Structure 1
């Protein structure tokens, strides 16, 4: 109020109306007046409540300045802190008039803003809600940006178990992320070299064995002892079968075949026709799944090994397809005697045979199930064996319904 008085006195009387309109606020209304308040009302300046107020006004203005103040008859008001349970009483509304140096008067009407006019808590809550949503959104983006390399690393580790030749990770981002990606790529490269060296050695040995086996066959034909001739040929056949099985096993570890959509039901029906031509019964039942992203020749070899194994120990083979939300199941069941529960997992080990005889015709080489599981796992799935309650064994091939 004292500053407004000083500002008005610096302007000419003709210009004060415009200045007054600018100086009005919601709590304080400024107006020009030619007449002072009635003397009876000015007596109220002696109210003890306004004594500190008048003292401060006189400190800023000349002591001989005419000043009149009166209390308005308005019900007591409280500060807006009542909304949070704190009621702070305010000084009562009043009207004051101050005489300017040229004899004119300026009036001040001080009122309190009603509860309806005060900014409601809803506006504050909306502001806080917008601020909270913004902070949470930025926090989620920051957390996602920080954890995204970890998700990429986890996906790469999962793909590594399915395809050792999966493209390496991009070595970018923060220092720690680059170091982790570089370490992962180095590990993948070392594993790839190790597996390739092992496969190369086994393939070379198995392949090179074909030449001496062939020479031995030629030399055996020159033997006059027919009994010795037959026994040696039998051993050579076993060696050749083991060599061929080893090569098939190593090929099952390779993932060089491209992935393409495959009609699994059509593939099984073609195998069914082939087995029927050989006089073997294969029944196909269940759902018709949509095209599945697979390596056709590898998956065909997997099914052949499982169906051959089922025919070896059972008379009837049933292939059931179950298209589930997360995976495709192919169940190959036979009516054979089954196997001991303790051997359900052991039979997948390379060269392991339940048949204790040395005959390859009855016991095989012990690589068929190993090759089948390697192929299934290369597709991101797995194979488990389970004895049927009604007798027989079933091999459950689970393939994920995602492109690996």
Structure 2
């Protein structure tokens, strides 16, 4: 069921509202049609019941011979009247439907007593075999009706047949006071007529109108959530993005104000943190410079070399720490980047330092991003590759939606349980703090931050044939 539900809040709300509205309309339509059918049958039955009661009362007040004459006079389609010495047996009489029970109650009410009577119904009034034991009794006006229909056109005959099909044949037998019976054969509307198209059209227009208003209302309610989600995503890419407009309903204004307040606090926190570390970096440079000058005064060459090495490492740690703490504080400068030219410049820089870097594959189009950040990310990954793997191979895979760069080395690899930990600040696989062996433990963390800020991701995995592979996936901006 979860897979069938829409993924968005808008889709789920529309599904619930539309399902409820359609179900309500169907139930309302069924109730209206059922009530209409009952009303039609009730009105038709009450009129026929009153006519039959009047005939019964009239026949009760007459002698037998006079009854026969009056019965022939009153036997006019669509109601045929016949006198019988006893009740007529019919197979249709065995069915006690709601129609027969309703008609019986209406006839008892019209007669004003509880005299014996039998009401039988046939769902096929156009044929006399609706009452199989009454072959001598055709249904109301069938002979004259057949003659009348024979002169009709085919279209008119079809209309008449459709009208007759909407009728329900009734055989009503009532006992007179002297014990004889009078039988009435008549027809009533079944009620289950063709649905009124104007009513269906009205319901359809009402449903469409309510669904449209629901669509507008749900879109209006969920749009601020979509804007807030987009703002939260872009905040990770650019902390200095423009604040959200604080407009709309009270709840939306409160959410936008809270988001803008949070953004301002984050900017202030990052700015204060960067300022502190910049001051620390500036203040540390002075004592490091003095220590370097004093180290030059040492007579022991070995001690002086070790001092200079430690001081150089301290300077690098201060620089890398400052770079990491600055993080993504600076706004991005987005522009098209020729990735191949950038990779070739990094390759040339590495070769000048005696490192081997190869490039495989090409890009199809420029990548839109911040050149300085992308260069820094790739430089950190290449430094990590040549530091531990002696040489690096950059595999370029450019598709319509994303740019994937794989930086492969031939080093010893990383234990599987350490693949994510190496992105943590100051975390290194080696216990020593030597730049030549372990670095500062900040390069991969900075590279991942840059990848995330560009909307991409950076992962590490061990290669099957040995070595490590850093996979940098960067999405192309939509055209």
CA distance in 2: counterparts of 1:260 and 1:86, whole angstroms: 77
Q: Could you report, residue by residue, the CA deviation over 1:226-270 in whole angstroms, capped at 9, with x for unpaired residues?
A: 343233222211111111111222344323231111122221122
Which residue number corresponds to residue 130 of structure 2? none
Find the residue that maps to 1:360 and give its secondary structure: coil
Q: CA deviation at 1:128?
A: 5.0
Which residue, 466, 469, 472 being the options, matches 1:391?
Answer: 466
Q: CA deviation at 1:214?
A: 0.8
- Contact 1:281/1:317 (8 A) holds in 2: yes
* Displacement over 4 Å in runs of 4+: 44-50, 71-77, 85-89, 118-131
Which residue, 167, 179, 183 being the options, matches 2:258?
Answer: 183
Does residue 259 (structure 1) correspond to residue 340 (structure 2)? The answer is no
Q: Could you report, residue by residue, the CA deviation over 1:188-237 in whole angstroms, capped at 9, with x for unpaired residues?
A: 11122112212221222122211111111122222334343233222211
Q: Could you report, residue by residue, the CA deviation over 1:65-86 in whole angstroms, capped at 9, with x for unpaired residues?
A: xxxxxx9976799x99x89x97
Does residue 333 (structure 1) correspond to residue 408 (structure 2)? The answer is yes
Q: CA deviation at 1:396?
A: 0.7
Does residue 142 (structure 1) correspond to residue 220 (structure 2)? The answer is no
Cα separation, partners in 2 of 1:86 and 1:353, compared to 1, 3 Å? farther
- Contact 1:333/1:395 (8 A) holds in 2: yes
- Contact 2:402/2:473 (8 A) holds in 1: yes
Which residue, 407, 420, 433 being the options, matches 1:358?
Answer: 433
Which residue number corresponds to residue 366 of structure 2? 291
Which residue number corresponds to residue 314 of structure 2? 239
Which residue number corresponds to residue 38 of structure 1? none
Which residue, 134, 153, 158 being the options, matches 2:233?
Answer: 158
Q: CA deviation at 1:332?
A: 0.7
Which residue number corresponds to residue 309 of structure 1? 384
CA distance in 2: counterparts of 1:143 and 1:401, whole angstroms: 32
Find the residue that maps to 1:333 and give its secondary structure: strand
Find the residue that maps to 1:328 and give its secondary structure: strand
Q: CA deviation at 1:130?
A: 5.0
What is the TM-score with the length of structure 2 in the denominator?
0.58
| Structure 1: segments with no counterpart, 5+ residues | 1-43, 51-70, 90-117
Q: CA deviation at 1:329?
A: 1.4
- Contact 2:238/2:331 (8 A) holds in 1: no
- Contact 1:252/1:298 (8 A) holds in 2: no
- Contact 1:264/1:289 (8 A) holds in 2: no
Find the residue that maps to 1:222 and give its secondary structure: coil
Cα separation, partners in 2 of 1:315 and 1:223, compared to 1, 3 Å? closer
Does residue 169 (structure 1) correspond to residue 244 (structure 2)? The answer is yes
CA distance in 2: counterparts of 1:86 and 1:276, whole angstroms: 96
Q: CA deviation at 1:49?
A: 8.4
Cα separation, partners in 2 of 1:367 and 1:48, compared to 1, 3 Å? closer
| Structure 2: segments with no counterpart, 5+ residues | 1-72, 80-140, 150-155, 170-192
RMSD of equivalent CA atoms:
3.4
- Contact 2:408/2:470 (8 A) holds in 1: yes
What is the TM-score with the length of structure 1 in the denominator?
0.68
Find the residue that maps to 1:356 and give its secondary structure: coil
- Contact 1:260/1:295 (8 A) holds in 2: yes
Which residue number corresponds to residue 299 of structure 2? 224
CA distance in 2: counterparts of 1:358 and 1:120, whole angstroms: 87
